[in-house]
Amino acid sequence: MKKEELLNLRNMGIVAHIDAGKTTTTERILYYTGKIYKMGEVDEGSTEMDWMAQERERGITITAAATTCFWKDARINIIDTPGHVDFTVEVVRSLRVLDGMIAIFCGVGGVEPQSETVWRYANKYNVPRIAFVNKLDRIGSDFNRVLEEMKTKLFAKIVKLQIPIYKKDEFIGVIDILERKQIIWDEESKGMKFYEEPIPKKLKDEIEFERENIIEVVAEYDDKICEKYLAGKEIATPEIKLLIRKGTIKNAVVPVLCGSAFKNKGIQSLLDAVVDYLPSPLDVEAVKGINPITNKEEVRETSDEVPFSALSFKLATDSYVGQLIYLKIYSGILRQGEIVYNVNRDKKERISRLLRMHANKREDIQEASAGDIVACVGLKFTRTGDTLSNIKNPILLESIQFPEPVISVAIEPKTQADQQKLSEALSKLQDEDPTFKVKFEAETLQTLISGMGELHLEIITDRLTREFSVGANIGKPMVSYRETIKTNSRGEGKYIRQSGGRGQYGHCIIELYPNTGNGFIFENKIKGGVIKEEYISSIKNGIEEAMTSGILGGYPVIDIKAILIDGSYHEVDSSEIAFKIAGSIAFREAMKNAYPILMEPIMKLEIYTPEPNLGEVIADINVRRGKIINLTEKASLKIVDAMVPLAEMFGYATDLRSLTQGRATYTMEFFRYEEVPDDIVKKFLDVSLYRKSVA
Ligand code: GDP
């Protein structure tokens, strides 16, 4: 891509609280940029972005679909992101690859709890943003109140660019403060036409005052213009725009616009603002990564001249082309037919097709450049978060971190005929979504699916029926427990069978240590070759296999260090499989004596409640074994921060609603695993079997 083209490229996401109007706004953007010819309505279930059937029904956007459109000289890649907290993983992964975003707020609801959560994520990933206050046609909407909330709740330094105009309570246009003019939309043409008029005399002073305010906020972002301003000289509109752009790219200020997506108002100015203020790939810092050969850090500038590197940020199954992988290209050029290197998997992959996506339509392209977002077909090993690079110049970019799933349900096919289809569909869904896991429990002969929340699993089971036409029965949601140990111990594993002919011989002794927060580590400390080198990894594999199902309740075992200290082998009878089994036996033996404990997911809960309900809300948290961490206040609401075991939180949405007559809202996120208190464990597990040896 030429430099001017890169400067005119915008990779942006649209994020918002659920129902603020993200889907409608995206839809209008696609309409005005000429990509679609019939405007869809969320309520009629015909929007372009929400192409999955159940998204239409629910009216919410679940998977991030990337789409490209053009506005004036700019190319805009839009990643649609979901608003529900159960899908923050989708938001996070898009923030990782975006250069900027539009945050949409509802003109009535204002800054809602989930907007704050997403805003904090955007701060964490340092994503520059502009804000759009939507739904100003609705009764009860108040642009200025939302601006105040953005200041007090989000601590945003805002740049107010517009003032809404009402005629007898009807929202008809906006005043463009910088251009000193007013824009009145033409209802008949669905807002495609609008009239520009001079501002009424009586508003002149107010507009000048607002204009001055803008300059004051952003003057510091350019020394020359700042000097001019301090010297009392007139600052021209293009200069102010440049200042706002600089401040926005620095992520120091947030330009705010307003409108009504539903009534086709304000979308053109929003698109202008995207081009004027959001960064191009050249404005953001060059990406860094590790060269896997030298282990040194390297930088890849956003340029076609440097070796190719890209991050895969989304896998999706497409009914026409099969598996699609979305890539953000950070450097170099990617060509159709080319072979690239997957650094994470150490595999070469061929790009058989390169596509530019428009929701569920696609356009084949021959090549794509640094800074762009595209989808490709033909990759066999690549998963979400992997780096692809030029074969000769490998680099490993920082991956996207995904949380472990915390909730599971048992799933079974409705009929025999569904059996095969079910396992295929689940495996596809697992490939797409790094926070969705499938596991077969050998002991209970059950398949368990796990995810990030009740709604997450509900959507998945919905997709099974709709997209994959599989009938399945679902059990009750269950907490995904983990097991670990509290003390050191030793275990011996012998797998010896000698009955004529070639037998089996595997023998090892291991020690286990708690390894809190550091996962699984295996060390080999045997002396004098008492076990042949070739069998060591089999012992490790045996331990890892045993760890998938712990001795307490068959839950995965985490945070353990295993040291191989002794054993023996037989010249003829020993085999890899015999040592693998010996490793498993030794592990189970050792774990019994290591004070095994059960760990449960603890959730971070944030509740917004009116003062009169505070007492009941807190009492209820205590009943749920929760701990109150903090109590603060924002606007007229009390905010309760608490840590609560997930096991106590099923159905909380309904309970909180009835407790507060629907006045309180909350957000919940996974925080960490903690030990389950013994009195709770005893209700469903017999730990006494393993606790005798401990004083
Ligand atoms: P999302 O959940 O953020 O994607 O929100 P949607 O775009 O699905 O909108 C949620 C609801 O608000 C739908 O019923 C829309 O028709 C409605 N809506 C969206 N924008 C506006 C608007 O500007 N004014 C009004 N009155 N309703 C809107």
Report whether pLDDT(694) > 70. Answer: no
Q: What Å distances lie between residue 207 and 38, 211, 238, 272, CA to CA?
A: 37, 6, 17, 20
pLDDT at 30 over 90: no
Ligand 1 contacts CB of residue 17 (under 6 A): no
pLDDT at 468 over 80: yes
Q: By the 8 A CB rule, do 222 and 246 touch?
A: yes
Q: Does the pLDDT of residue 90 top 80, yes or no?
A: no
Q: Is the CB of 98 under 6 A from ligand 1?
A: no
pLDDT at 640 over 80: yes
Helices (H), 519-646: 536-547, 576-592, 614-623
Among 195-199, 241-245, 338-342, 405-409, where is mean pLDDT lowest? Answer: 405-409
Lowest mean pLDDT among 5-19, 20-34, 222-236: 20-34
The CA distance from 348 to 340, in Å, is: 6
Ligand 1 closest atom vs CA 24 = 7
> How far is the centre of ligand 1, averaged over its atoms, from the C-alpha of 19 (Å)?
6
Q: Choose one of 17, 19, 61, 142 to mutate for the ligand 1 pocket test, by most ligand atoms within 8 angstroms of C-beta.
A: 19
Average pLDDT over residues 599-607: 89
pLDDT of residue 467: 83
8 A C-beta contact, residue 313 and residue 89: no
Residue 50 has pLDDT above 60, yes or no: no
pLDDT bracket for residue 215 (50, 70, 90): very high
The Cβ-side half-sphere exposure at 143, using a 13 Å CA radius, reads 22
Q: Is the pLDDT of residue 40 over 60?
A: no
Query: What's the rounded mean pLDDT across residues 68-95?
Result: 74
- Residue 29 Cα, ligand 1 centroid: separation in angstroms? 14
- Residues 247 and 218 sit within 8 Å (Cβ to Cβ): yes
Q: What is the pLDDT of residues 251-273, one digit of tens each?
A: 999 999 999 999 889 999 999 99
Rounded Cα distance, 424 and 544, in Å: 25
pLDDT tens for 270-296 read 999 999 999 999 999 899 999 998 989
Give the model's confidence band at 492: pLDDT under 50 very low, under 70 low, under 90 confident, else very high: very high
- Output the CA 210–ligand 1 centroid distance in Å: 29
CB 440 within 8 A of CB 430: no
Q: Distance (Å, rounded) from C-alpha 123 to C-alpha 564? A: 45
What's the pLDDT score for residue 57?
41
Residue 547 contacts residue 485 (beta carbons within 8 Å): no
Tokens at 365, concatenated: 């392209």
pLDDT, averaged across the chain: 87
pLDDT, residue 443, reads: 62
What does the pLDDT look like over 182-192, one tens digit per residue? Answer: 999 987 876 77
The pLDDT, as a whole number, for residue 61 is 36
**Residues 196, 541: Cα–Cα separation, whole Å:** 72
55 pLDDT higher than 50: no
Question: In the predicted model, what is the mean pLDDT of residues 139-151?
Answer: 94
Write the residue with the smallest CA distance to atom 19 of ligand 1: 21
For residues 30 and 34, what is the distance between their CA atoms, to the nearest angstrom? 6
Is residue 324's pLDDT more than 50?
yes
Rounded to 10 degrees, the C-alpha dihedral 604/608/613/614 comes to 50
Q: Is 47 in the pocket of ligand 1 (CB under 6 A)?
A: no
When pLDDT is cut at 50, 70 and 90, the band that residue 80 belongs to is low
Check whether 41 has a pLDDT greater than 70.
no
Residue 242's pLDDT band, with cuts at 50, 70 and 90, is very high
Rounded CA-CA distance 81/455 in Å is 16
Higher pLDDT, 424 or 40: 424
User: Closest residue (by CA) to atom 14 of ligand 1?
Assistant: 43
Residue 87 has pLDDT above 70, yes or no: no
pLDDT of residue 58: 38
* CB 22 less than 6 A from any atom of ligand 1: yes
pLDDT of 693 strictly over 60: no
Does pLDDT of 201 surpass 50?
Answer: yes
Tell whether ligand 1 has an atom less than 6 A from the beta carbon of residue 21: yes
Query: Would the CB of 107 count as within 6 Å of ligand 1?
Result: no
Handedness of CA 205, 211, 213, 216 (dihedral sign): negative
Q: Quick one: average pLDDT of 561-589?
A: 95
Of 130-139, 159-168, 307-316, least confident by mean pLDDT is: 307-316
Nearest to 99 by CA among 302, 291, 361: 302
- Judge whether 542 and 581 are in contact, CB under 8 Å: yes
Query: 517: pLDDT confidence band, cut at 50, 70 and 90?
Result: confident
Percent of the chain beyond pLDDT 70?
A: 90
Atom of ligand 1 nearest to the CA of 263: 23
pLDDT of residue 695: 38
Q: Specify the pLDDT at position 34.
A: 67
* pLDDT in the model for residue 398: 80
Tokens of 455: 């709604």
pLDDT computed for residue 44 by the predictor: 53
Q: Ligand 1 within 6 A of 264 CB?
A: no
The residue type of 359 is A
Check if 83 has its Cβ closer than 6 Å to any atom of ligand 1: yes
What the block records as the tokens of 259 is 């409108």
Q: Which of ligand 1's atoms lies nearest the C-alpha of 104? A: 3
**Is 37 in a helix, a strand, or coil?**
coil
**Could you give the 3-state DSSP secondary structure of residue 267?**
helix
Contact call for residues 10 and 100 (beta carbons, < 8 A) = yes
| 59 CB within 6 A, ligand 1 | yes
Specify whether the CB–CB gap between 139 and 168 falls below 8 A: no
**Shortest CA distance to 317 belongs to which of 473, 521, 463?**
463
What's the pLDDT score for residue 692? 59
Dump the DSSP string for 275-334: HHHSPPTTTSPPEEEE-TTT--EEEE-SSTTSPPEEEEEEEEEETTTEEEEEEEEEES-E
On the question of pLDDT at 643 being above 90, the answer is yes
The separation between the first and the last C-alpha atoms of the chain, rounded to the nearest angstrom, is 70
Assess whether pLDDT exceeds 70 at residue 38: no
Tokens found for residue 138? 């609705």
Ligand 1 pocket test target in 15, 22, 23, 24 with most atoms within 8 Å of CB: 24
The pLDDT value recorded for residue 89 is 63
Q: For residue 261, give the ligand 1 atom closest to its CA.
A: 23
- Ligand 1: distance of its center to the CA of 61 in Å? 12
